[in-house]
C-alpha cells in the first residue's frame, strides 16, 4: 500500500507513521530484500470503529497489523520481490536474536514453536477473520495467502491465539517465559528504581512535616501520611505511589508484555523494600493498583468496585483492599490473562503478608474503621 490508497480521506488508511509514496514503498521493499532492514514489525494498533468514523483530521491513527502481518508479507514472496527465507528471518530469527529471546530457532534443545503454513492457499481477510476490536481494516477483502494452518508450541498443537505471547493472555504457551535474561534484568532494575522512590517521605519533608516514618505505623504509604493531618498530601502520595507502578509497567511493555510484568513486579517490590530506606517501605496497595492499571487497565474498575462495596458493608479500608486483591487475580486467570494473572497471584500473597498486623486486628476486632477518629 502507499499514500494513494487513502483516496478521498479514507480514515481506515490513516496510520502512524503515515503511508508513504510509491517510491518510498519500493525502496523499503528493496531494503528488506537486501538485508538493510533487519526486521519486520506489525505496528499493531487497532482502534474502535467510532474513533475512525470521524473527519480525517480528527480520526485516530492506527490499524490492525499483527493479524495480517505474515499474510501480507507473503505477497512479497509470491511477487518474487523478497525471498521466503529473508521474510522468515526478518519476522522470527532476527528479532529474537536482537532482543535476546530464546526463540526463533530450530536448534536442538530449543523450545518447539513452529507454525505450519500453506504457501498456495488463498485467503480473503474479512470481518469474520478479525479478532481485534477494529471491525474494518485497510487490507480487508484483499486477496492474501493464509498465514497459518496449525501451530506446535511447547508440545501442544493447535491454532495460535493472539494473546499467547503478545498480551499475556490465552492458553498454550501462556506461562512460558520467553523474554531474554538481559531484558528481564533491565526491566526489573528499571522497575525497582522507579518503585523505590519514597514519595510519602519526600512529600512530608518538603511540606515541613518531618519524617513520616516516626509517626503512626512508621510506613511511607498514604495511610500513614494521612496521620499527619494533611489530606492533600496523603492523596498526592497515594496518586504518585500508584503512578510509579503504572509508569514502570507501561513503559517497559514497549519491549513486550513480559518486560512490563518484570518491571511492574519490581516496582511493587521496590515500594515495599526500598534500598534507600533500609528496605523498609510501604504496604503496597497503591503500587499494586498502579501496576494493575499499567498491565490490565479494565481490572482497576473491578478492584475499585470491590473496594467500594466492601467499604460500604464493613467500613474497613484494609479488609476492602485485601478482598479486592483476593478476587482480582482469580478474575485475571479466569479471563485468560495468564502471565499477568500469575503475577497478581504472587503480588496478592505478598500484600497479605505485609498486612498481617491488619489481619490480626481485624480478627481481634480492634482494626480502625473508615471515618473513626482517635
Residues 134-140: what's their mean pLDDT?
A: 52
pLDDT confidence of residue 274:
94
Listed range (1-15, 58-72, 270-284) with the worst mean pLDDT: 1-15
Higher-scoring residue by pLDDT: 140, 265: 265
pLDDT confidence of residue 314:
92
Query: Which stretch of DSSP H or E encloses residue 156?
Result: strand 156-158
DSSP state of 83: -
DSSP state of 91: I
CA distance 86 to 231: 60
Highest mean pLDDT, choosing among 7-16, 156-165, 286-295:
286-295
- Quick one: pLDDT band at residue 242, thresholds 50, 70, 90? very high
The yes-or-no verdict on residue 310 having pLDDT over 60 is yes
Centre a 10 Å sphere on the Cβ of residue 88 and count the other Cβ atoms it contains: 16
pLDDT confidence of residue 170:
38
163-193 pLDDT, tens digit each: 333 444 433 335 667 778 888 999 999 999 9
Residue 12: name the closest of 48, 54, 57, 63 by CA: 63
98-133 pLDDT, tens digit each: 877 777 777 777 776 777 777 766 666 666 656 665
CA distance 342 to 175: 8
pLDDT confidence of residue 69:
80
Instruction: Name which CATH class applies to 3-160.
Output: alpha beta
Q: How many residues does the chain have?
A: 374
Centre a 10 Å sphere on the Cβ of residue 86 and count the other Cβ atoms it contains: 20
Classified as helix, coil or strand, 228 is coil
Q: What is the pTM of this model?
A: 0.57
Rounded to 5 degrees, what are φ and ψ at 144? -130, -170
DSSP H stretches of helix in the chain: 22-34, 49-52, 69-78, 84-88, 94-98, 163-166, 181-195, 199-206, 222-226, 231-252, 257-272, 285-295, 298-314, 317-334, 338-354, 356-364
45-78 pLDDT, tens digit each: 777 666 777 787 777 877 776 677 887 888 888 7
Contacts of 44 (CB under 8 A, 6+ apart): 64, 65, 66, 67, 69, 132, 166
Spans of all domains in the chain: 3-160, 181-364
183-236 pLDDT, tens digit each: 899 999 999 999 999 998 888 889 888 888 888 767 787 777 877 878 888 899
Centre a 10 Å sphere on the Cβ of residue 153 and count the other Cβ atoms it contains: 18
Residue 84, beta-bridge partner list: none
Residues 32-57: what's their mean pLDDT?
A: 79
110 close to 132: Cβ distance less than 8 angstroms: no
DSSP H stretches of helix in 210-336: 222-226, 231-252, 257-272, 285-295, 298-314, 317-334
DSSP string, 270-282: HHHS-GGGTT---
Listed range (150-154, 261-265, 314-318) with the worst mean pLDDT: 150-154
CA distance 132 to 152: 23
Amino acid at each position: 500500500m502507499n499514500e494513494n490508497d487513502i483516496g478521498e480521506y479514507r480514515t481506515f488508511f490513516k496510520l502512524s507513521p503515515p503511508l508513504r509514496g510509491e517510491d518510498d514503498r519500493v525502496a523499503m521493499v528493496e531494503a528488506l530484500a537486501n538485508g538493510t532492514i533487519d526486521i519486520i514489525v506489525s505496528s499493531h494498533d487497532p482502534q474502535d470503529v467510532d474513533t475512525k468514523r470521524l473527519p480525517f483530521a480528527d480520526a485516530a491513527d492506527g490499524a490492525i497489523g499483527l493479524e495480517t502481518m505474515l499474510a501480507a508479507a507473503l505477497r512479497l514472496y509470491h511477487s518474487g520481490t523478497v525471498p521466503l527465507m529473508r521474510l522468515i528471518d526478518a519476522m522470527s530469527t532476527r528479532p529474537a536474536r536482537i532482543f535476546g529471546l530464546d526463540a526463533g530457532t530450530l536448534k536442538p534443545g530449543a523450545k518447539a514453536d513452529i507454525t505450519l503454513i500453506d504457501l498456495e492457499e488463498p485467503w480473503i481477510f474479512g470481518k469474520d477473520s478479525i479478532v481485534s476490536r477494529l471491525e474494518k481494516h485497510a487490507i480487508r477483502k484483499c486477496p492474501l495467502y493464509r498465514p497459518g494452518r496449525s501451530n506446535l508450541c511447547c508440545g501442544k498443537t493447535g491454532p495460535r491465539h493472539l494473546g499467547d505471547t503478545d498480551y499475556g493472555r490465552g492458553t498454550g504457551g501462556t506461562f512460558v517465559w520467553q523474554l531474554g535474561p538481559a531484558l528481564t534484568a533491565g526491566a526489573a532494575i528499571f522497575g525497582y528504581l522507579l518503585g523505590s522512590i519514597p514519595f510519602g517521605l519526600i512529600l512530608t519533608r518538603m511540606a515541613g512535616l518531618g519524617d513520616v516514618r516516626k509517626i503512626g505505623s512508621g510506613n511511607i504509604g498514604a495511610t500513614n501520611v494521612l496521620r499527619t493531618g494533611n489530606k492533600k498530601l496523603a492523596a498526592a502520595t497515594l496518586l504518585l505511589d500508584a503512578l510509579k507502578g503504572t509508569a514502570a509497567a507501561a513503559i517497559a511493555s514497549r519491549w513486550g508484555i513480559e518486560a512490563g510484568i518484570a518491571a511492574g513486579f519490581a516496582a511493587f517490590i521496590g515500594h515495599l523494600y526500598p534500598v534507600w530506606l533500609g528496605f523498609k517501605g510501604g504496604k503496597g496497595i497503591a503500587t499494586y493498583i498502579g501496576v494493575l492499571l499499567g498491565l490490565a487497565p479494565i481490572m482497576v474498575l473491578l478492584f475499585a468496585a470491590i473496594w467500594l462495596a466492601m467499604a460500604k458493608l464493613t467500613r474497613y479500608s484494609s479488609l476492602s483492599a485485601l478482598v479486592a486483591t483476593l478476587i482480582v487475580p482469580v478474575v485475571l486467570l479466569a479471563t485468560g490473562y495468564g502471565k499477568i494473572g500469575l503475577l497478581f497471584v504472587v503480588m496478592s500473597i505478598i500484600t497479605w503478608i505485609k498486612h498481617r498486623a491488619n489481619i490480626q486486628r481485624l480478627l481481634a476486632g480492634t482494626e480502625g474503621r473508615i471515618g473513626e477518629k482517635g
